[in-house]
């Protein structure tokens, strides 16, 4: 296995994103580089990406690993939009090899943020305290090679469809990110 290089990970408010049409990959066949095991995973319907997670009902946190195919000059992002299933106003974790981007605060607590880049795949790892101990989460994901002044750039539709709402859970012990396996309306 190739040596993993740590990426600089920046917290940013993502205003827009992009789409690179591609087929989803199977979570079950993926190997992650960190030492954590995730209880659940879902192959996301866009950007050759997947989300792995473990929910901790006792403290309202979720450990996530967002993984996406991406070339070295590119970037990936995964985030939560507290109000809607859109890219605009999403608060995101962004990973790329550009040290000039400023990090910022999000409206929810994030810890243990790291990222890796190996063999054309970038992965963001983090522990997130769900906003207001939510049982429903609007999450979005992106990957791109577009930059504007060394900052991830806004890209054209259909990027805005790389989002989902995880349905409410029936029990506090249930994981809050049971993502559907079917594509949202408008996807092919």
Do the domain assignments include residue 54? yes
Buried b (16+ CB within 10 A) or exposed e, 156-184: eeebbbbbbebeebeeeeebbbebeeeee
pTM, 2 dp: 0.69
pLDDT, mean over the chain: 65
Owning domain of residue 47: 5-158
Name the pLDDT band for 15 (thresholds 50, 70, 90).
very low
Which of 89, 91, 80, 76 minimizes the C-alpha distance to 8?
A: 76
For tokens 């029990």, name the residue.
171
Give the tokens for residue 93.
């974790």
User: In angstroms, what CA-CA distances link 7 with 13, 18, 72, 163?
Assistant: 18, 21, 10, 24
Give dist(CA 94, CA 8) in Å, integer. Answer: 9
Q: What is the DSSP string of 121-164?
A: EEEEEEEEEPGGG-S-EEEEEEEE--EETTEEPP--TTGGG-EE
The pLDDT tens digits of the residues spanning 114-171 come to 888 888 888 999 999 887 777 677 788 877 776 666 666 665 454 445 554 443 333 3
Number of domains in the chain: 1
């Amino acid at each position: 296995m190739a040596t993993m290089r740590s990426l600089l990970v920046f917290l940013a408010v993502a205003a827009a994103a992009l789409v690179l049409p591609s087929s989803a990959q199977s979570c079950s066949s993926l190997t992650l580089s960190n030492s954590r095991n995730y209880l659940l995973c879902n192959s996301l319907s866009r950007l050759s990406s997947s989300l792995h997670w473990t929910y901790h009902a006792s403290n309202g946190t979720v450990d996530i690993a967002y993984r996406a195919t991406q070339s070295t000059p590119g970037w990936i992002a995964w985030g939560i939009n507290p109000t809607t299933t859109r890219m605009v106003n999403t608060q995101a974790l962004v990973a790329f090899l550009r040290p000039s981007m400023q990090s910022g605060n999000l409206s929810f607590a994030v810890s243990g943020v790291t990222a890796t880049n190996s063999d054309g795949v970038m992965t963001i790892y983090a522990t997130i305290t769900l906003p207001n101990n939510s049982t429903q989460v609007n999450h979005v994901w992106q990957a791109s090679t577009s930059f504007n002044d060394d900052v991830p750039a806004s890209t054209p539709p259909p990027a805005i469809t790389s989002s989902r709402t995880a349905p409410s859970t029936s029990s506090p012990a249930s994981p809050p990110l049971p993502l559907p396996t079917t594509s949202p309306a408008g996807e092919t």
